[in-house]
Amino acid sequence: MKDLFHFQNKNFLVTGSSKGIGEAVAHDLLDLGANVWGVSRTNTFNLERSGADRFGFIPADLSNPSDRSAISESGPEQYDGIFLNAGASGSIKPFHLVNEAELRDLFELNFYAPYLLIQDLYKKKKIRPGCSIVVNTAHGAFFQPAASSAYTGAKGALNGAFRSVAADMAKRKIRVNFIAFGYVDTELLRKNNVPEETKALAPLGVPAPSEITGGAIYLLSPASRWLSGTTILASAGLGLKQVPML
Ligand SMILES: NC(=O)c1ccc[n+]([C@@H]2O[C@H](COP(=O)([O-])OP(=O)(O)OC[C@H]3O[C@@H](n4cnc5c(N)ncnc54)[C@H](OP(=O)(O)O)[C@@H]3O)[C@@H](O)[C@H]2O)c1
């Protein structure tokens, strides 16, 4: 059983590690004995916690090509796991109110940045054979919510592209899996002022980031070593129909 969740001395890259879901996953990886390199524009990672001496901060704006290239030139020789987590939702609005700059910005961070980062890491041989890549998409990419077309479009593209990437990388035993959250109580969600009655559509409630790390940890661990191309829908039951249907 211990081998299934063996993280000791392994190297992980977590994008968007300064807060929210990325920070929580990075802390769990450290608690499990891993070495973690975290990427974000600001460094608010809590270095008071145990294991913080195994945390390396890589300051970078993922939307910036030279910053991305700096990421693949720093860190360890090779990564055993990568959590492609950094992202933004923009504000909730119907599609006819989305302006072009906003649409392009959301695609830049949520789609082009992780795609080009992984491509660069792969070309520079920073991804160890057997590595597990976990892509943070979104529940909305699968269930087409209203007023979220730019965000769900970018996350849907991410899902489609990385399923192909999974096929391309399989010959090197590199796995690519996905985690799709519903509502998680982070700054991203709070900025959007989602009404309480909307959040109540998730019958299990709205978790704090530290409560929903299990799916990502499982996909990053050897316990999931025969999985590639799968999605864990970690949306607190948001996809369940709560009305009787015949
Ligand atoms: N919260 C939810 O309800 C929810 C639901 C579904 C999916 N998700 C997905 O989960 C992921 C994490 O979201 P979260 O809720 O944890 O959001 P969050 O609390 O806003 O954290 C976002 C993280 O991404 C980093 N980031 C943003 N823009 C960046 C950039 N240009 N360059 C480098 N880092 C950048 C931020 O760091 P800096 O600001 O310091 O750069 C921060 O560490 C996102 O991909 C989001 O789409 C979230």
Burial degree of 59 (CB within 10 A; 0-12, 13-18, 19+): middle
What 3-state class would DSSP assign to 235?
Answer: coil
143's tokens: 């269930």
Task: Tell me the C-alpha distance between 157 and 163, whole Å.
Answer: 10
Distances (CA, A) of 24 to 46, 49, 184: 10, 12, 12
pLDDT computed for residue 48 by the predictor: 83
Q: Are 35 and 53 in contact (CB under 8 A)?
A: no
State the Cα angle at 23 between 228 and 59, rounded to 5°: 100
Q: From the CA of 181, give the closest atom in ligand 1.
A: 6
Number of domains, the chain = 1
CA of 100 to the centre of ligand 1 (A): 21
Tens-place pLDDT, residues 192-227: 999 999 999 999 999 999 999 999 999 999 999 999
Give the span between the Cα atoms of 216 and 223, in whole angstroms.
12
Mutate-to-test residue for ligand 1 from 68, 185, 188, highest number of ligand atoms within 8 A of CB: 188
Structural domain that includes position 159: 19-27+79-241
Distance of CA 181 from the midpoint of ligand 1 (Å): 12
- The protein residue whose alpha carbon is closest to atom 45 in ligand 1 is 87
Tell me, in angstroms, the distance from the centre of ligand 1 to residue 90's CA.
11
Residue 121 near residue 82 (C-beta atoms within 8 A)? yes
Which sign, positive or negative, has the C-alpha torsion 134, 139, 144, 145? negative
Helices (H) then strands (E): counts for the chain: 9, 7
Find all residues with CB under 8 Å of 130, minimum gap 6, and list them: 80, 173, 174, 225
Residue 3 Cα, ligand 1 centroid: separation in angstroms?
Answer: 31
Given a contact cutoff of 8 angstroms between Cβ atoms, the answer to whether 22 and 29 are in contact is no
Ligand 1 close to Cβ of residue 199 (< 6 A): no
Enter the tokens of residue 13.
Answer: 């890259």
For the chain, residues with pLDDT lower than 50 are none
Q: Return the ligand 1 atom nearest residue 206 CA.
A: 3
Angstrom CA distances, 199 to 81, 99, 189, 202, stand at: 32, 26, 10, 6
Asked whether residue 108 is domain-assigned, the answer is yes
Task: Specify if 23 maps to a domain.
Answer: yes
12 domain-assigned? no
pLDDT for the residue numbered 50: 74
User: Residue 115 falls within a domain, yes or no?
Assistant: yes
Residue 134 belongs to a domain: yes
Task: Return the pLDDT at 241.
Answer: 83
Domain membership flag for residue 60 = no
Structure tokens at 42: 């600001």
pTM of the model: 0.98
At residue 138, what is the residue type? Answer: A
Predicted pLDDT at 82: 99
124: in domain: yes
Query: Is 213 close to ligand 1, i.e. is its CB under 6 Å away?
Result: no
pLDDT at residue 45, as a whole number: 86
Question: Do 60 and 68 touch, CB atoms closer than 8 A?
Answer: yes
pLDDT of residue 111: 98
Query: Are 79 and 12 contacting, i.e. CB atoms less than 8 angstroms apart?
Result: yes
Residue 32 lies in a domain: no
Q: What is the CATH number of the domain that holds 229?
A: 3.40.50.720
- Compute the distance from residue 245 Cα to the ligand 1 centre, in Å: 36
